[in-house]
Structure 1
Amino acid sequence: MKIGLYFGTFNPIHVGHLVIANHMAEFSDLDQVWFVVTPHSPFKKKSTLLDNHHRFEMVYRTTQDYPHLKPSDIEFHLPQPNYTINTLIHLEEKYPDHHFCLIMGEDNLKGFHKWKNYEVILENYHVYVYPRISEGHIETQFHQHDKVTFVEAPIMEISSTFIRKAIKDGKNIRPLLPEHVWNYVDEMNFYR
């Protein structure tokens, strides 16, 4: 089975994440997309994150109606801060019958050369890239690389940061969140 790994803090998961993941599952050769909820990114301040179990719960609730989308808490059980290469190796050992690929936005691909062991990742794993509007350029080495596939997907300009701020400011952003997530955020009084 070919699995696309969609990494993120998902703080909170929103319709943009869902649209991209579903598009990858339906319009590429991936059999499933796993939302890998990251406990702590080396590039983000931990203080802004909801607890791991709350973010996982929102992803879990979101994916229940989509048979090709799955939540994954694999990184909760790895030493922190964690790097993608470690997760990939761990998943390969745990699921030897699966073939894992990375899913990332163009904005992440622009900084991919700064990732720990990015050469090893490219040597061993395919990378599926969806369009994002962002500054900067993609390194030439990634444009024609046989392991990098650019997927024509909808451009989603929604961010979790925007959603958190809007909730804090008392705005109604309900259409930007899957219904189960909106209900959970509202019920738990998050981001206010």
Structure 2
Amino acid sequence: MKIGLYFGSFNPIHIGHLIIANHLAENSDLDQIWFVVTPHNPFKKKSSLLDNYQRLEMIHLATEDYDKLKPSDIEFNLPQPNYTVNTLAYLQEKHPNYEFALIMGEDNLKSLHKWKNYDVILENHHIYVYPRISNKTTPAHFINHNKIHTIDAPIIQISSTHIRNSIKATKNIKPLLSPKVWQYVDEMNFYK
């Protein structure tokens, strides 16, 4: 089985995440997409993050109607701050019969050379890249790389930051979240 790992803080998960994941599940050789909730990204401030389990719960709510989309708390019990290369090694050891690939936005590909042991990741795993509007240029050695696959997915201009700021400003962002996630966010008074 080939699993696409979609890492993120998902703070909150929104319809853009679901559109991209479902597009990959339906239009690539990936059998499942796992939303890997990142407890603490070394490049992000921790202060604005909801609790790990609250973000995981939102992913459960958002994906329960999709057979190929799954929540994952795999990084919750790994040493922090965690690095993708360590998570991949742990998953490969735990699931030796699965093949794991990464899913990332084009903007992340442009900074991949800064990731810990990025060359080990590229040696052992395929990367599926979805388009994002960005003014950074992709490093030349990643263009036409045999392990990097650009996906013709829709460009989604929705951000979790925009959603959090809009909720704080009491704007209606209901269409940007799946109904169950919106209900959970609203009931829990998140981001207000």
TM-score (norm 1): 0.99
Q: CA RMSD in A?
A: 0.4
Cα deviation for residue 15 of structure 1 reads 0.3
The alignment partner of 2:76 has SS state of helix
The amino acid that maps onto 1:94 is: K
Cα drift, residue 135 of structure 1: 1.3
Q: What does residue 105 of structure 1 align with? A: 105
- Give the match for residue 161 of structure 1: 161
Report the TM-score, using the length of structure 2 for normalisation.
Answer: 0.99
Partner of 1:75: 75
Number of aligned residue pairs? 192
The one-letter code matched in structure 2 to 1:20 is: I
The residue aligned with 1:46 is 46
Q: Which residue of 2 aligns with 1:134?
A: 134
Unaligned runs of 5+ in 1: none
Other-structure match for 1:179? 179
Distance in 1, matches of 2:163 and 2:124, equals 35
> How far apart are the structure 1 equivalents of 2:19 and 2:127?
18
* SS in structure 2 of the partner of residue 77 of structure 1: coil
Shift in Å, 1:144: 1.0
Partners of 1:142 and 1:85 in 2: how far apart?
A: 18
Deviations 1:35-71 (A, max 9, x none): 0000000011111000001000000111100000000
Pair 1:10 & 2:10 matched: yes
Residue 58 of structure 1: aligned partner: 58
Q: Secondary structure at the match of 2:135?
A: coil
Deviation at 1:136, TM superposition (A): 1.0
Q: Secondary structure at the match of 2:163?
A: helix
Residue identity opposite 1:77 in structure 2: N
Identity %: 68
Matched residues in 1 for 2:144 and 2:108: separation? Answer: 17
Equivalent residues in 2 for 1:86-97, closer than 5 Å: 86-97=86-97
Q: Which amino acid aligns with 1:50?
A: L
Report the residue type matching 1:188 in the other structure.
M
Rounded Cα–Cα distance in structure 2 between residues aligned with 1:144 and 1:47:
38
* SS at structure 1 position matched to 2:75: helix
Letter in 2 for 1:182: W
In the other structure, the counterpart of 2:151 is 151
Which contiguous aligned blocks of 4+ residues in structure 1 show a shift greater than 2 angstroms? none
More helix by share: 1
Unaligned runs of 5+ in 2: none
Q: Distance in 2 between matches of 1:136 and 1:95?
A: 35
